[in-house]
């Protein structure tokens, strides 16, 4: 099986769309294409480009039960409203029991990879699809292959990809649930492979997509499993959905009130905030979480700090931390509840590096109070670790 990636520079949305249409017509004309839609901006852009190129496309949303809730709306409801032709496949009853109890970060990713691949293979067979398209973007490729886009060829075999990953394994950070999988199709096509998140957003604006999609925060392939530290359980998943919604919607409302839109480009050229979420753990200070040491993924304990709020000094400290994977600033602690929450809000240009969003401490305490109003929550922290040395996600 081959992989076809659009390898081109991005100068303007119009230029890229024209390049993408030529690429898709070259590789997918008169073919039936399976397109995995997650509800995020990457796969949505890939699907919109396929439609723009008039390619026969079957959009599929796989509901595994670990998608977020945004303003009390399930992800599947949102994507059906945005793309009425999407086919929703519900695998919650089969998938969730498999991931419950799994603690290992990479094993969580592999469970998702296996679940996705089985469903995708079945749909491809049932619908007699010739090609598969996905929303793999440049940071995904860099973190799995440890290479730059110019190191890749437009057309590569799976074997060539695997050899490349082995050759550059020192640059590996994490596996992606949609890379290096063989399907019974002629080829996989990745029309947004050379794009970063900010370029994806520029495309969506040009394609007249609503603001709620253009500024949609990045969401990982393993979904909320990436934000549940340790084993996923039915209980912590239920709580995670609630706290995640509180954190994401509160920070979005703050930016809309202050700037008129949920995301800005700050004076460093970063998307602010690039990513917003809540991570959950029973004992976050006694649980190893992800970080990066000398460019390599590591698992160490976080360090909690209780001190006067001084953003600049705290960030300097977190940027030079040794032996710990993250630095967490203590916001609120309750004697009740069973779960710890870490609020993560970062700015970034392309996810390669990330800075911590400088939110007012009074506002952070407001969010913490909302979270502590839930009887399940016992403490709330603000993750003040840039990338590097921290990773953005917790898995």
Query: What would the pLDDT profile of 344-365 be if each residue is shown by its tens digit?
Result: 999 998 788 999 999 999 999 9
Q: What pLDDT is stored for residue 146 in this prediction?
A: 61
User: Would you say the C-alpha torsion 255, 198, 70, 248 has a positive or negative sign?
Assistant: negative
Q: How confident is the model at residue 263 (pLDDT cuts 50, 70, 90)?
A: very high
Distance in angstroms (rounded) separating the CA atoms of residues 117 and 112? 8
pLDDT at 197: 87
Tell me the per-residue pLDDT of 278-329, one tens digit each, with 9 for 90 and over.
Answer: 999 999 999 988 887 776 778 889 999 999 999 999 999 999 988 898 999 9
Q: What is the pLDDT of residue 170?
A: 55
**Higher-scoring residue by pLDDT: 177, 197:** 197
Confidence tier at 147 by pLDDT (50, 70, 90): low
Domains of the chain and any CATH numbers: 2-201 (3.40.50.620), 227-383 (3.30.300.10)
Nearest to 243 by CA among 342, 144, 129, 330: 342
Q: Given this model, what pLDDT does residue 180 score? A: 47
Say whether pLDDT at 378 is over 90: yes
pLDDT of residue 92: 93
pLDDT for 334 beyond 60:
yes
Percent of the chain's residues with pLDDT above 90: 63
Q: What is the mean pLDDT of residues 359-381?
A: 97
In whole angstroms, how large is the CA radius of gyration of the chain? 20
pLDDT digits (tens, 9 = 90+) for 99-146: 999 887 778 888 888 888 889 899 999 999 999 999 989 887 776 666
Q: What is the pLDDT of residue 292?
A: 78
Please say if the pLDDT value at position 258 is more than 90: yes
pLDDT at 352: 81
Q: What is the pLDDT of residue 169?
A: 59
- The pLDDT score that the predictor gives to residue 360 is 98
Is the pLDDT score of 75 beyond 70?
A: yes
For 280-293, write each residue's pLDDT tens digit: 999 999 998 888 77
Q: How confident is the model at residue 175 (pLDDT cuts 50, 70, 90)?
A: very low
Q: How confident is the model at residue 64 (pLDDT cuts 50, 70, 90)?
A: very high
For residue 162, count CB atoms less than 10 angstroms from its CB and return exposed for 0-12, middle for 13-18, buried for 19 or more: exposed
């Amino acid at each position: 099986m081959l992989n076809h990636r659009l390898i081109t520079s991005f100068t303007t949305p119009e230029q890229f769309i024209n390049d993408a249409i030529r690429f898709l017509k070259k590789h997918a004309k008169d073919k039936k294409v399976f397109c995995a839609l997650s509800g995020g901006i990457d796969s949505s852009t890939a699907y919109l480009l396929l439609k723009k190129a008039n390619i026969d496309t079957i959009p599929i949303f796989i509901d595994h039960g670990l998608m977020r809730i945004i303003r009390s709306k399930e992800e599947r409801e949102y994507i059906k409203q945005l793309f009425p032709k999407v086919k929703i496949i519900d695998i919650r009853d089969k998938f969730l029991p498999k991931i419950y109890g799994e603690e290992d970060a990479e094993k969580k990713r592999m469970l998702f990879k296996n679940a996705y691949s089985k469903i995708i293979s079945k749909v491809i067979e049932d619908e007699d699809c010739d090609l598969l398209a996905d929303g793999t973007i440049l940071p995904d490729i860099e973190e799995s292959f440890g290479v730059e886009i110019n190191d890749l060829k437009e057309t590569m075999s799976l074997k060539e990809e695997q050899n490349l990953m082995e050759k550059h394994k020192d640059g590996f950070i994490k596996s992606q649930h949609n890379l290096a999988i063989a399907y019974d199709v002629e080829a996989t096509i990745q029309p947004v492979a050379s794009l970063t998140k900010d370029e994806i957003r520029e495309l969506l604006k040009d394609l007249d997509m609503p603001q709620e999609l253009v500024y949609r925060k990045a969401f990982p392939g393993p979904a909320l499993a990436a934000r549940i530290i340790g084993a996923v359980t039915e209980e912590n998943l239920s709580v995670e959905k609630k706290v995640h919604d509180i954190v994401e919607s509160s920070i979005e409302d703050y930016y809309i009130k202050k700037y008129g839109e949920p995301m800005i480009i700050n004076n460093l050229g970063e998307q602010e905030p690039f990513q917003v979420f809540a991570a959950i753990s029973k004992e976050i200070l006694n649980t190893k979480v992800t970080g990066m040491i000398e460019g390599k993924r590591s698992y160490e304990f976080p360090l909690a700090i209780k001190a006067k709020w001084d953003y600049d000094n705290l960030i300097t400290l977190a940027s030079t931390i040794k032996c710990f994977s993250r630095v967490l600033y203590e916001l609120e602690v309750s004697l009740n509840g069973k779960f710890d929450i870490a609020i993560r809000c970062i700015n970034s240009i392309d996810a390669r590096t990330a800075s911590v969003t400088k939110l007012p401490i009074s506002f952070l305490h407001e969010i913490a109070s909302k979270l502590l109003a839930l009887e399940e929550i016992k403490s709330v922290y603000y993750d003040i670790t840039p990338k590097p040395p921290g990773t953005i996600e917790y898995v």
